[in-house]
Amino acid sequence: MENSKEMRTWLDDLGLDHPLVIAGPCSAETEEQVLKIAHELKDSDVSYLRAGIWKPRTRPGNFEGVGALGLKWLQKAKEETGMLTATEVANAAHVKLALEHDVDLLWIGARSTVSPFIVQEIADALNGTDKVVLVKNPVNPDLALWLGGIERLHSANIKKLGVIHRGFSTYEKSKYRNIPEWQLAIELQNRFPDLPLICDPSHITGKRDMIFDVAQTALDLNFDGLMIETHNDPDNAWSDAAQQVTPSRLIQIMQDLKIRKETDAEAEYNNKLGTLRAQIDVIDNGLVETLGRRMKISDEIGALKKQKNVAVLQSKRWNEILGRMILEGQEKGLSEEFVLKMFKAIHQESINHQEKILKA
């Protein structure tokens, strides 16, 4: 996979003057629902109509998709609107049925990407296909596993490839359904700049009111497109109701998004500068979130010290931290002066937190 330029050809061939958009319901529920959504999206920026046919759920007993019947609905929507179609596949049987119903784009879900056995089975079933195949990131933040999925498909002589960034599962509570961990997508983009990169803000956020902001961040980071779950009656959707938007809202989102276009040397400079600044913004936001978590732990330490009547300042512990951080900072190219200033500020904030608890 040394040269990923051939993977971008399918995207360039679409001739779009806007980011690629893949949209449609989380799950195909009825023929009427699929056709209604398709007709409402056909004259928009949406290139691919997506619908979940088989829905792997975390726990059994929930709605797990209508099955192969839904492929006929996608096929009919394609005939009536001219839209390309897309769905998720999780095994060779899914691939066979999707190809029989002329689905144009197949994606491998996050739960499937974690298993090299599943990805290889799908790759074997798709060997030599001219369909577009996208790989969602695995549920855990493992870049090698994500790239491994692409490499297996590429080895199966599949040329129209790309990846979908849908965030990563975490035990910690967060405002996101799946934490973006943008730095992984950025690293993938830096290593393979010609590999089409699509963002799935629906699964990252889990909330429709956050989709716009995450979509804008993705475009600022120079992502190639978006996959947004879209339903004609999202509040009553059979799965993932909270993260789906209406077709009219999707159209408005696409109108409101700021999209950088590269037209000349000056624009290319501004585009690259904007992307790098967006990367810094992502890291800065992560720093603030990390510091916030650190101070919560400091609060817990303060409560313990109050319980045991222990002084806030523990000089030995502080000097050990400082010495270790100076050495680690040097390995990362950070000056001793900078590390001292930064950790003294962090330490002082931690002391302030603990003193408030002791005085309470």
3-state DSSP helix/strand/coil percent for the chain, to nearest 5? 55, 10, 35
Q: Are residues 103 and 202 in the same domain?
A: yes
Q: Which of 259, 281, 300 is the last residue of a domain?
A: 259
Q: Are residues 70 and 40 in the same domain?
A: yes
CB 66 within 8 A of CB 27: yes
CB 147 within 8 A of CB 119: no
Q: Is the pLDDT of residue 5 over 80?
A: no
CATH number of the domain within which 194 lies: 3.20.20.70
Average pLDDT for 48-56: 92
Structure tokens at 107: 């994606």
Structural domain containing residue 303: 267-359
Structure-model confidence comparison of residues 207 and 260, the more confident one: 207
Q: Are residues 195 and 136 in the same domain?
A: yes
Q: Is the pLDDT of residue 117 over 90?
A: yes
Q: Which of 225, 259, 293 is the last residue of a domain?
A: 259
Structure tokens at 312: 């806030």
Q: Are residues 244 and 319 in the same domain?
A: no
Q: Are residues 79 and 173 in the same domain?
A: yes
Structure tokens at 194: 């010609």
Query: Residue 332 carries which DSSP code?
Result: T
Number of domains in the chain: 2
Per-residue confidence (pLDDT) for residue 74, from 0 to 100: 97
- CB atoms near residue 168 (< 10 Å): 19
Q: Which of 221, 239, 259 is the last residue of a domain?
A: 259
3-state DSSP call for residue 48? strand
CA 64-109-44 angle, 5° bins: 90
Q: Are residues 104 and 232 in the same domain?
A: yes
Structure tokens at 216: 């804008």
Cα–Cα distance measured from residue 208 to residue 221, given in angstroms and rounded to the nearest whole number? 21
Q: Are residues 303 and 234 in the same domain?
A: no
Of 86, 80, 99, the residue nearest 39 (C-alpha): 80
CB 157 within 8 A of CB 186: no
Question: Of 2-16, 72-86, 140-154, 196-210, which gets the smallest average pLDDT?
Answer: 2-16
CATH number of the domain within which 322 lies: 1.20.59.10
How many angstroms from the chain centroid is the CA of residue 26?
16
Specify the pTM. 0.79
Query: Where do runs of H (alpha helix) occur along 227-335?
Result: 247-256, 265-308, 315-331
Q: Are residues 229 and 124 in the same domain?
A: yes
Q: Are residues 253 and 277 in the same domain?
A: no
Q: Are residues 349 and 235 in the same domain?
A: no
Cα–Cα distance measured from residue 186 to residue 193, given in angstroms and rounded to the nearest whole number? 10
3-state DSSP call for residue 109? coil
Cα–Cα distance measured from residue 4 to residue 25, given in angstroms and rounded to the nearest whole number? 31
Cα–Cα distance measured from residue 189 to residue 173, given in angstroms and rounded to the nearest whole number? 27
Q: Which helix (H) or strand (E) holds 152?
A: helix 143-155
Cα–Cα distance measured from residue 181 to residue 139, given in angstroms and rounded to the nearest whole number? 11
Q: Are residues 170 and 293 in the same domain?
A: no
The 10s digit of each residue's pLDDT in 137-166 is 999 999 999 999 999 999 999 999 999 999
Q: Are residues 283 and 255 in the same domain?
A: no
Structure-model confidence comparison of residues 309 and 199, the more confident one: 199
